Structure 1
Amino acid sequence: MSLVTDRPTPSAPQQPRPGGGRAAARRARGRRRARRPAPLAGRYIGYVLYFVGAGLISGAVVHHPLDPARYTKIAVVGVLVFLAATVVNEFLLAADRPTLRRSVLVIVASLMLSFGIGMLSGGLQHFEDFPDRGAVLVPLGTTVSFIAFVLKDAESSWRRIFGPMGLAVLLTAAVSFFGLRAVADGLGEPSGESGHSHGDATEEESDEHSTEKESSAPASESSPAPQSSATTEAEPGHAEDGHGH
């Protein structure tokens, strides 16, 4: 009898608390909504704004010495477009809204990322036009874009900047700097802004040809004049010699 009485009695199943089923259903519906992808139009607009902003910044960074006032305005517009893309992708279309501290970090990192991508793409695209400038922009853009991406990425820690990937990016930037400097020195072009003139060189050449033609035309027209004067001066001499004989 003691063995029977010592057996533990099975516990009764717990009754669900009132309202627990409805709360669980609401949480399940919220998780399903969070897993739904963002609308196609929103994703398209967000990525278009990303690339348009980066393109404007890259052109402004490279061409800034040609017209500082104009390309400063273009850079500001590119920054605003890139920030608009950040707001659309990171806040409006995101399943989880970031905190205030995370939002500030994302905005600052997005600005750094936009300039890093702009320097990298612009330096590569216009390297032959601005070799010395491109040799600096490409490695600098590589380093800045990597740091900004790590800070912006929610799944990465800022310590990854000093990890193996960061060391590889730093070595790549150093090798690209010295390599592009050697290529720029081999091109033998000045580092000024005359390399990328957008048609000014052809206009100057045409002006030089036109001035050469204008300068040669009067010379050809005036060259017979001394000969005619010499003949006119020689003719009276011959006449006088004829009369003297």
Structure 2
Amino acid sequence: MPQPPPGGGRAAARRGRGRRRARKPVPLAGRYIGYVLYFVGAGLISGAVVHHPLDPARYTKIAIIGVLVFMVATLVNEFLLAAERPGLPRAVLVIVASLLLSFGIGMLSGGLQHFEDFPARGAALVPVGITVSFIAFVLKDAESSWRRLFSPLGLAVLLTASVSFFGLRTIADGLGEASGESGHSHGTGMEEEPDEHGAEKESPASAPESTAPETAPATGAESGHSDDGHSH
């Protein structure tokens, strides 16, 4: 007698085909929203990381909002739209790695975008952003192992971060010297301006002297009265 095929035979095969047909592709709108949230969150974080010294309270709020947006994007892309949802340990790792990834991307993009505005800060943010984003991506990627951090690729990323730090630091020092020279020239201009204003202010200060002739007619008037008194 012919043996039935393992796994339930044709009925199991039909059920398997039915499950494959039931898995629908992710709609375009869902994929679009997920990626937009990724980039919006990273953009908010990048702006907050770079501009934080200007207004700590304001940019701390912006950073928190960016983190929340990025986390929502992670939930949408990694859990709601994913073909296979990860278990609890993997889900926690993905959330933590996504949080690190958001800050790494924010440091990298913000440091590059505003390097001329904050050269010293940008020179530090860019290499840190490269390193943090790579570590976070390896931990988040389901097809990678944490051992890839110590692979030749990880060494290349570390070397790139080191070169970028020393290179950007040198450029930042040059920009600092250039701004220092312009600051001195601007300072001399500011010192000359008070002298000019002071000279202009001295001319109105002579206004009380112009009141002296006004007292003269008064004295003349008084002498006129005295003359009149004598005439009378």
Q: What TM-score results when the alignment is normalised by the length of structure 2? A: 0.78
Question: Which residue, 197, 204, 213 being the options, matches 1:221?
Answer: 204
Q: Percent identity?
A: 72
Q: Could you tell me how far apart the structure 2 residues matched to 1:75 and 1:190 are?
A: 32
Question: Which residue, 100, 113, 125 being the options, matches 1:125?
Answer: 113
State the Cα distance separating 1:219 from its structure 2 match: 2.6
Q: Could you tell me how far apart the structure 1 residues matched to 2:81 and 2:28 are?
A: 10
Per the alignment, in what secondary structure is the counterpart of residue 149 of structure 2?
helix
State the Cα distance separating 1:147 from its structure 2 match: 0.4
State the Cα distance separating 1:28 from its structure 2 match: 1.8
Question: Which residue, 75, 82, 87 being the options, matches 2:63?
Answer: 75
Q: Which amino acid aligns with 1:126?
A: H
User: 1:76-118, CA deviations, whole angstroms, 9 ceiling, x for partnerless residues?
Assistant: 1100000000000000000001011100000000000000000
Q: Could you tell me how far apart the structure 1 residues matched to 2:145 and 2:7 are?
A: 43
Per the alignment, in what secondary structure is the counterpart of residue 188 of structure 1?
helix
Unaligned runs of 5+ in 2: 180-190, 217-232
User: Equivalences for 1:72-221 in 2 at 5 Å?
Assistant: 72-188=60-176, 217-221=200-204
State the Cα distance separating 1:30 from its structure 2 match: 1.8
Unaligned runs of 5+ in 1: 1-11, 192-207, 234-245
Q: Could you tell me how far apart the structure 2 residues matched to 1:165 and 1:132 are?
A: 28
- The alignment of Structure 1 onto Structure 2 pairs a total of residues equal to 205
Give the helix-richer structure, 1 or 2.
2
Q: CA RMSD in A?
A: 3.2
Question: Which residue, 8, 23, 42 being the options, matches 2:12?
Answer: 23
Q: Which amino acid aligns with 2:10?
A: G
Cα separation, partners in 2 of 1:57 and 1:213, compared to 1, 3 Å: farther
Q: Could you tell me how far apart the structure 2 residues matched to 1:104 and 1:190 are?
A: 48
Cα separation, partners in 2 of 1:88 and 1:16, compared to 1, 3 Å: same
Q: Could you tell me how far apart the structure 1 residues matched to 2:7 and 2:168 are?
A: 71
The aligned residue for residue 2 of structure 2 is: 13
Q: Could you tell me how far apart the structure 2 residues matched to 1:223 and 1:31 are?
A: 97
Cα separation, partners in 2 of 1:58 and 1:221, compared to 1, 3 Å: same
User: 1:20-40, CA deviations, whole angstroms, 9 ceiling, x for partnerless residues?
Assistant: 423321212223444x43111
Q: What TM-score results when the alignment is normalised by the length of structure 1? A: 0.74
Q: Could you tell me how far apart the structure 2 residues matched to 1:190 and 1:56 are?
A: 30
Cα separation, partners in 2 of 1:15 and 1:181, compared to 1, 3 Å: closer
Moved over 3 A (4+): 15-20, 210-218, 223-230
Q: Could you tell me how far apart the structure 2 residues matched to 1:73 and 1:183 are?
A: 31
Per the alignment, in what secondary structure is the counterpart of residue 99 of structure 2?
helix
Deviates more, 1:167-176 or 1:211-220: 211-220
